[in-house]
Structure 1
Amino acid sequence: MKYTIDKQEKYSLLKLHEEKLDSSIAPSLKSELITIHAEGIHNIILDLCEVKYTDSSGLSALLVGNRVVQEDGGIFVLACLSDHTTKLIKISQLDSVLNILPTVEEAIDAVLMHEIEKGLEDEE
């Protein structure tokens, strides 16, 4: 699996450099997302700008990432989805489960907003 990772203070941005998120990539993506989370990263942005095709095993990897991050009070955001991936997520009715934003910049804003809200909840 080809990818780059940009670790910031409040989040990690994982950019997938693959055209297909399918059964050949999904297991590696799952383990990478679990590893990033195990390293103490609570918020993950997954940049899928280069991904043109996703299958059910790819969706499974996205759900694993979403679950491990949310269990810890973090936020998992998908950015730059292709039309194909967006349709698959909607058909699977996962658009209400996953955080999806059109750009990485908006995803970063969502993470920072989540952190502010969490900070306010902690103060109460």
Structure 2
Amino acid sequence: MNHLIQKHEQYALINVKENDFGGEFATDLETISRDLFREGFHNLIVDFTPTNTIDSAGISILKKINMLCSRELGLMVLVSDNDDFVDQLIDGKIRDVTILPTVEEGIDAVFMNDLENEFGAESDDFDDEDFGEDGFTKSEQP
């Protein structure tokens, strides 16, 4: 698979440079993604800008990668502004997939996902005994 990988602190960006995505190219992406997971990257942005078609093998691999990202509270973002290609992705029924038209929007989505995970973890730090009878924490009581 002809591609370029850019590693950043919070995500890895994979630029796919193929017109048709499937078969051996899909298998290559799975291998690349697993290597990135081992390195600690749980947020993946896959730029499919030059890609026009995807086959069932490609959809299947994307489902696996998306599941791996989700398990680690990460996010897989697929980038394409090609409406026909996006329709193929939607028809593939990849659960909770994020499809955006630009890499910049994908980066923003990764940062927002990380913030949501951080805030979610903070809100889980409260126990029932931390709340008073009126439902406020002791520091929030009027």
Same fold (TM over 0.5): yes
Conserved in 1, the CA contact under 8 Å of 2:80 and 2:86? no
Conserved in 2, the CA contact under 8 Å of 1:49 and 1:79? yes
Instruction: Specify the code of the residue in structure 2 equivalent to 1:108.
Output: I
Once the two structures are superposed, what CA deviation does each residue of 1:100-121 show, in whole Å capped at 9, x if it has no partner? 1111111100000111111111
Describe the SS at the equivalent of 2:4: strand
Q: Does 1:75 align with 2:75?
A: yes
Aligned length: 123
Deviation at 1:21, TM superposition (A): 0.4
Q: Does 1:38 align with 2:38?
A: yes
Q: Residue in 1 aligned with 2:98?
A: 99
Conserved in 2, the CA contact under 8 Å of 1:43 and 1:76? yes
Flag structure 1 segments of 5+ consecutive residues without an equivalent. none
Matches within 5 A, 1:5-44: 5-44=5-44
| TM-align CA RMSD | 1.4
Cα gap change, 1:65/1:122 in structure 2, threshold over 3 Å: closer, same or farther? same
Flag structure 2 segments of 5+ consecutive residues without an equivalent. 124-142
After TM superposition, the runs of 4+ consecutive aligned structure 1 residues lying more than 3 A away are none
- Percent identity for Structure 1 against Structure 2: 32
Q: Residue in 2 aligned with 1:52?
A: 52
Normalised by the length of structure 2, the TM-score is 0.80
Normalised by the length of structure 1, the TM-score is 0.91
Q: Does 1:110 align with 2:109?
A: yes
* Distance in 2 between residues matched to 1:122 and 1:69, nearest whole Å: 18
Conserved in 1, the CA contact under 8 Å of 2:21 and 2:58? yes
